[in-house]
Amino acid sequence: MAFKKLKKTVAVLSIAALTMGVFAGCGQSVEEQTSDNGANDDKIVIGFSMDTLKEERWQKDRDVLMARAKELGVEILIQAANGDDNKQIAQAENLISQGVDVLMVAPHNAEVAASIVEAAHEEGIPVLSYDRLIKNSDVDVYVSFDNEKVGRLQAEYITKLVPKGNYVYIGGAPTDNNAHLFKKGAMDILKPFIDKGDINLVYDQMSKDWQPSEAQKHMENALTANKNKVDAVICANDGTGGGAISALAEQQLAGKVPVTGQDAELAACQRIVEGLQSMTVYKPIPKLAETALDTAIKLAKKEEVETNNKVNNGKIDVPSVLLEPVVVDKENMMDTIVKDNYHPFEEIYKNIPEDQRPKQ
């Protein structure tokens, strides 16, 4: 343990240098984000290499993990690469060099991140794949939601609203394995409708780095190609959903064409109660973050990890903990997002006249 303590002490400056600016605008300093650098050498230290902190959803992951780590008396060092594969590899190597007990990784690129697993294992450090599966690697455990089910829930919801017509599918980042799982789940539901000729999939594109601007361009292209004759839009998450709705608004179609989402972002919840977005898939981030951290601690202690599934990553069947996603729309917003204090009631309904808001 003495060697780990030495490496942690030496690396404080390097982690600050690597992360400087990553957390700008998040209301916390680098020291607060990297948590308890003066910890004793017996404290469990968990490194977390994140793809991004540019999205509300991932900021929530970070905040819950920091709070949970403090509650459990463990140290967590967090770095985010914001979509840069080389930077994520360098940051992960930095965390490994500090002698973390476990490395959690939410990869930007599911394939590229395999090198991170290999580097960690060379130092005897187990790796937990967080929310996004690391492909073609010997990653130790995967903690996420049932991502194929997310896609199925989106498609089931929208096909009940629109069982026939022209459909657009706007997916997520092609580098993110989850994006492919969401699409697979959705297509499992859509295929029988397509085969019968009830649904015509007129546009199908992924969106680089989950960028809403990419999704907006896709929606604009779909509308142009089909002379605005689009009946339903399945968007893989709320960010891409927001981009699609912006394009629909330009053609006075926002609120008239059903649009799906995922992540239960505040802006999406606002759009749902305003009638601009049909639904989102709620994946309770506190449950994911707490489950992942608890699992990481067991890995650090070399205790048995309880899993409920296995997911093949192209190389092995990865022991997995898959949590259940939940459909949220205008009807159950109060019983899910508001009840769980995921977003404040006042913020969700701020654009709704008070006499039209549901009672708390």
Topology adopted by domain 2-139+284-323: Rossmann fold (3.40.50)
Q: Is the pLDDT of residue 240 over 50?
A: yes
Cα separation, 203 vs 241, whole angstroms: 15
Q: Token pair 């998040």 is at which residue?
A: 26
- Residue 360 pLDDT: 86
Give the domain ranges of the chain. 2-139+284-323, 147-283+330-356
**Domains 2-139+284-323 and 147-283+330-356 alike in fold:** yes
Return the percent helix, strand and coil in the chain, to nearest 5. 45, 15, 40
Q: Is the pLDDT of residue 128 over 80?
A: yes
CB 173 within 8 A of CB 136: no
Cα separation, 250 vs 326, whole angstroms: 31
Q: Is the pLDDT of residue 1 over 70?
A: no
Mean pLDDT, rounded, for 272-277? 98
Q: Is the pLDDT of residue 156 over 90?
A: yes
- Residue 41 pLDDT: 61
Look up the CATH architecture of domain 147-283+330-356.
3-Layer(aba) Sandwich (3.40)
Instruction: Pick 19 or 112 by higher pLDDT.
Output: 112
CB 47 within 8 A of CB 77: yes
Strand partners, 280: 328
Question: Each residue of 4-58: pLDDT tens digit?
Answer: 433 443 343 333 334 333 333 333 323 334 454 444 468 999 999 999 998 888 9
3-state SS string for 162-213: CCCEEEEEECCCCCCHHHHHHHHHHHHHHHHHHHHCCEEEEEEECCHHHCHH
- What is the share, in percent, of the chain residues with pLDDT greater than 90? 87
CB 348 within 8 A of CB 290: no
- Biggest CA–CA distance in the chain, Å, is 68
Question: Each residue of 338-348: pLDDT tens digit?
Answer: 999 999 999 99
- Residue 7 pLDDT: 42
Q: Is the pLDDT of residue 300 over 90?
A: yes
CA separation, residue 244 to residues 69, 126, 248, 257 (Å):
37, 40, 6, 10
Question: Each residue of 241-271: pLDDT tens digit?
Answer: 999 999 999 999 999 999 999 999 999 999 9
- Residue 11 pLDDT: 40
The burial of 93, by beta-carbon neighbours within 10 Å (0-12 exposed, 13-18 middle, 19 or more buried), is given as: middle
Average pLDDT, the chain: 90
pTM: 0.81
Give 65-108 as a DSSP string. Answer: HHHHHHHHT-EEEEEE-TT-HHHHHHHHHHHHHTT-SEEEEE-S
- Residue 267 pLDDT: 97
Q: Is the pLDDT of residue 115 over 60?
A: yes
CB 249 within 8 A of CB 223: no
Question: Each residue of 52-97: pLDDT tens digit?
Answer: 998 888 999 999 999 999 999 999 999 999 999 999 999 999 999 9
Give Cβ neighbours of residue 231 (< 8 Å, ≥ 6 apart): 162, 164, 165, 166, 167, 257, 258
- Residue 4 pLDDT: 43
- Residue 237 pLDDT: 97
Question: Each residue of 320-336: pLDDT tens digit?
Answer: 999 999 999 999 999 99
